[in-house]
Amino acid sequence: MKKGKLGYLFIAPATLHLLVFAIFPMAFSVFLSFYKWNLLTSERTFLGLANYAYAFGDPQFWNAMWNSTKYALLSVPLGMAAGLLVAILVNQKLKGVTIFRTLYYIPAISSGVAISILWIYVYLPETGLINSVLGLLHINNKTDFLKNESMAMYALVFMSIWVGLGPRMVLFLSGLIGIPPSLYEAAELDGAGKLRSFWNVTLPMLAPTTFFVMVTSTIGALQVFTPVYIMTQGGPNETTDMVGYHIYVEAWSKFLIGIASAKSFVLLAAIVAISIFQFRILKNQLEGYSTT
């Protein structure tokens, strides 16, 4: 066997997996998005772009898109700030710091369903962790976070910060470790304090990491499904009906497979557009970047 061909063998499983579970289903969804078909009947009607037109005119779809936008706008910056903060904390030369690094990462390797169920208990009005702690501080509102229209979204955002902490921390940590100490020494010689060197050395040097974390977090936030499915089912009063869950309901409760497919491509287009936008604004910062 030639060397070149052996390489294909190594990538075969991953490629096959990609083809079977990603590329083919996506192509099939394109096909579905042009039809009215509930999958079970033999007849299917070609609708052209009517499913897309329906999606654009559906106020509930836009409500879900707006909720997802709100969720992303809140959870991404807050999640990144928390991730960076924790990364800086665990980047200190402290005893047992690896234990903390591990602890912060645990939520990321736990099942999303299990975490969501856990957080239902955290948010309960009478016996929940948060209300119990607030009770100790003599705040006895007993807020029912997940059933309160003005609180449910924030409850999901707050949880997402906790869940996403580990992966973001690891990424920022690797970025922090990559910053040459000589830069800090130079800054110190120039009389820069801690805050100054964070602002003028750490942040600019972390730009590529920040960019990566931002893009992936945004995509993740726009696709959020499990917590909505388990904790709120889009409620109360559709204030947490986010687009991933909305599409799921269209497909599997209402059996509007074509409309659900069309909506998922609208979401795809939105995600691509946002990612391109993020690339544009950070382009300048990334160009001058070099650690060598």
Partner 1 sequence: MRSVVVFAVGLAVLLCGCKGATGTGPVVLHLSNWGGASDDPEFSRKITALYRQFERENPGIKVEIESVPDEYVQKMILSFVADAAPDVMSLDASSAGVFVNNGVLMDLAPFAKGDHGFRVSDFWPNVMAIDSRDQAIYAIPGDFTPLVLYYNKKLFDNAHVPYPGGHWTFDDFLQTAKKLTLKDKDGKVTQYGFNFPNWMPGWIVWLWNSGGDVLNPDGKSAGGALDSDKNVQAVTFLRDLVNVHKVAPNLSQTQSRGVDPFGNGETAMEISGHWEMSGFKTAPRLKMSDVGVTEVPTMLPQSKTVMYEVGFAIPKNARHPAEAWKLIKYLTGHGFQQTYQTTGIAVCARRDVATERAKAPREQLFLNIVPTARGPWGAQVVGYDFVEQEGKKMMERVLAGADPKQALTQTAQRIDSYFKVR
Closer residue to partner 1, CB minimum distance, 58 or 188: 58
Collapsing DSSP states into helix, strand and coil, what is residue 46? strand
Could you tell me the smallest distance in angstroms from the CB atom of residue 260 to partner 1? 12
Q: How far apart are CA 67 and CA 257, in angstroms?
A: 22
Collapsing DSSP states into helix, strand and coil, what is residue 35? strand
Closer residue to partner 1, CB minimum distance, 213 or 228: 228
Q: How far apart are CA 150 and CA 291, in angstroms?
A: 45
Closer residue to partner 1, CB minimum distance, 24 or 277: 24
Collapsing DSSP states into helix, strand and coil, what is residue 87? helix
Query: Closest by alpha carbon to 83, among 101, 110, 109, 95?
Result: 101
Could you tell me the smallest distance in angstroms from the CB atom of residue 136 to partner 1? 18
Q: How far apart are CA 211 and CA 206, in angstroms?
A: 8
Q: How far apart are CA 183 and CA 13, in angstroms?
A: 44
Could you tell me the smallest distance in angstroms from the CB atom of residue 152 to partner 1? 11
Q: In the numeric block, which tokens belong to residue 76?
A: 């991404």
Could you tell me the smallest distance in angstroms from the CB atom of residue 267 to partner 1? 19
Closer residue to partner 1, CB minimum distance, 108 or 124: 124
Closer residue to partner 1, CB minimum distance, 40 or 109: 40
List contacts with partner 1 (CB under 8 A).
1, 5, 8-9, 12-13, 16-17, 20, 38-41, 54, 120-121, 124-128, 144, 146-147, 149, 233-238, 249, 252-256, 259
Query: Closest by alpha carbon to 183, among 212, 203, 169?
Result: 203
